Amino acid sequence: KAAASVVEEHVSEAEREDEEYADVDWDNLGFSLVRTDYMFATRSCREGNFEQGYLSRYGNIELNPAAGILNYGQGLIEGMKACRREDGRVLLFRPELNAMRMKIGAERMCMHSPSVQHFIEGVKQTVLANRRWVPPPGKGSLYLRPLLFGSGASLGVAAAPEFTFLVFGSPVQNYFKEGTAALNLYVEEVIPRAYLGGTGGVKAISNYGPVLEAMRRAKSRGFSDVLYLDAETGKNIEEVSASNIFLVKENTIVTPATNGTILGGITRKSVIEISLDLGYKVEERSVAVEELKEAREVFCTGTATGVASVGSITFQNTRTEYKVGDAHVTQQLRSILVGIQTGSIQDTKDWVMEI
């Protein structure tokens, strides 16, 4: 069957599910997988071009046991959100940045990747086909997970001969079980997240498994998440498991510089741009763990995380607390970012894409 006809068939089928909203308890969404209707997938051929791709019913996929992703971890993830505006239109936020980040990550991981346009097309098709799963305004968003992975088989250590680009989604609200309450972070001293020259700066699937044990330990002690230190000196803060970190000091906003070990978050980049527009000074540099004591506010950013206030950070059994009620800068940045993403603040920067 030609890919195009599969796409048409499924999109029109999706349209036949004519209710505006799926049967979801929109007031109780967290960040766990909700099965939607469709996913998008396309495969590369040997020359590295990707087929047009098609939507299929959401479900399990078949993989050769020798697939590159299963044996050698050749894979990347992305994270994006589609938000429903008050007037019902659905918006993506800076999707071209996710597409470009996947391209850069693919080069690092020796993979072919879809073009920026093809990436966005796959994401758009996924959102349109799953439109009834985009939460009502103010109730969350449809989180999108584009994946690129080695689906071709290789027994020896080598790049996979074929790659799959797949997009699925799930309606979500807050990433942390704390909801919008401030996070309590634990500074991990033993397990670093990334190494100079490694893959910390790209969204490699293999960045996440190695920190699960540190997260499990911190969570079992009641912390929300882990703040990692640099692997080289163990003196500087880097990032949280799935978010970047910012400190607010008077009129200055400080965040660790992206030097290859820190993920260049799209929310991070957007928050920096908004901060500069508001007249704050922004410093991207090494941030010593001791500097956490000097901050007035601390917050985390990420697509899944949004802009989340940090209420305390524990390092070597010393807990530094932040007054979250007065977290004026964090709240200001959060409301501008969310306003642009949800269409309640005019997008003067061409950041949102209507689909």
Active site residue 249: no
DSSP at 139: S
Q: How far is the CB of 51 from ligand COI (least distance, A)?
A: 26
Contact 126, 168 (CB under 8 A): yes
Residue of 177, 182, 180, 223 lying closest to 310 (CA atoms): 182
200: contact with ligand COI by CB under 6 A: no
Which listed residue (92, 226, 242, 307) binds ligand COI by CB under 6 A? 242
Distance CA 264, CA 238 (A): 11
- Distance in angstroms between the alpha carbons of the first and the last residue of the chain: 27
Catalytic residue among 203, 219, 323, 349: 203
Q: Total number of residues binding ligand COI (CB under 6 A)?
A: 7
CB of 151 to ligand COI, least distance (A): 21
Per CB under 6 A, 303 contacts ligand COI: yes
Site string for ligand COI, 52-91 (x = CB under 6 A): -------------------------x-x------------
Binding part of the chain for ligand COI, among 6-14, 296-304, 331-339, 345-353 by CB under 6 A, reads 296-304
Tokens representing residue 283 in the block: 């410093």
Task: Tell how far CA 24 is from the center of its chain.
Answer: 23
C-alpha 66: how far from its chain's center?
Answer: 28
Taking CB under 6 A as the criterion, the residue among 53, 114, 302, 343 binding ligand COI is: 302
- CA 154 vs. chain centroid, Å, equals 29
Where does this chain touch ligand COI (CB under 6 A) — which range of 2-10, 165-173, 300-308, 321-329?
300-308
Q: What sign has the CA pseudo-torsion 155, 160, 166, 172? A: positive
Interface contacts to ligand COI, rule CB under 6 A: 77, 79, 242, 302-305
Catalytic residue numbers read 203
